[in-house]
Amino acid sequence: MKLEMKDSPGQLVSALQPISEVGGNIIAVIHQRDLSSREDTLGVQIVLEIAESRLTDLVSMIKERGVNILRIGKDRLLYKQTVIMIGHLMHTDLSDTVDRIDCTGFAEVTALDLAMPAINEPSSARLTIKSVSKKDMDAALDILRDVAKTKKLLIIEPLEGELV
């Protein structure tokens, strides 16, 4: 779920409480200030497990608390691939590399492990990418290959490829 709420004390707890009341399980809460949103609102993403039969009740309870629900989605990223990238990852803007995958709408970098031996030495990262379909995974990997070529990075692939 992606929520938008007033940026005031107690709002997050108020929005999360109905999840436990309907028997849901919170897996992750991503709470990050977005400079592009209005100053008085806060965006929050919640990963949760809940029986589908309880979802309507949950939505009603959250809305009753004055919280706007921007998006509700099921796990849509069904394919997973892990690759290793080696090179000057930080100096070539690692966030840009990840954003090029994430902005596609059909694939996302869902895990990133980075090892940096020394400031002027090449670093390495293990990236896990998830996508909607095998075709989309191939497209995401093509994007990553193009980025690696441009930024002079080495990619070792695939470590695995599977349905999630």
What's residue 30's pLDDT? Answer: 74
**Residue 5 is encoded by which pair of tokens?**
């709420």
**φ and ψ at 54, to 5 degrees?**
-100, -5
CA–CA gap between residue 42 and residue 31 (Å, rounded): 8
Q: What CA–CA distance (Å, rounded) separates 12 from 66?
A: 11
User: Residue ranges of the chain with pLDDT lower than 70?
Assistant: 32-39, 74-78, 159-164
Intrachain domains 2-71 and 79-163 with the same fold: yes
Helix-helix angle 55-64:11-21, to 10 degrees: 150
Domain range 2-71, CATH class: alpha beta
Which residue ranges make up each domain of the chain?
A: 2-71, 79-163
DSSP string computed for 74-141: -----EEEEEEEEE-TTTT-HHHHHHHHHTTSSEEEEEEEEE-SSTTS-EEEEEEEEESSHHHHHHHH
Is the pTM above the cut of 0.75? no
Per-residue pLDDT tens over the stretch 33-46: 555 555 678 888 78
Chosen CATH of 79-163 out of 3.40.50.300, 3.30.70.890, 4.10.410.60, 3.30.70.2690:
3.30.70.2690
